[in-house]
Amino acid sequence: MPALVRRTVRCPCGRRSSTVVLAEGQEPLPLPCTAECERHKRRARLADAFGVPDPEHYVPVQVRSTRTQCAVLWLAMQVCCLSALSAYTARTNPHHLCGGR
């Protein structure tokens, strides 16, 4: 009986892998690529075409601009609240500007 060996097999693009046990000298069949492999290949081609250095960690412009818009809105809201509080304080305590006299 031939010895058994553990081998790692991969799909042609290398994204998927699996460990199989085979008889020594036996060649494993490669894993087939999946739809996820095809999506990754397409994303890599697009990243290359648009000059994106690392497509796995790329944040699209729309997401970045949305984050910036949220930050700007939050800041505007804080300024608005502070000015409203200041106006309220001036109306309800006219002496606060004079050091509390």
Per domain, the residue ranges of the chain are: 61-101
Tens digit of each residue's pLDDT (9 = 90 or more) over 33-91: 999 999 989 988 888 888 877 767 666 666 556 666 777 777 777 777 777 777 777 67
* 10-14: average pLDDT: 93
Q: Tokens standing for 39? A: 């999506």
pTM for the whole structure: 0.46
Strands (E), the chain: 4-10, 17-23
Residue type, 13: C
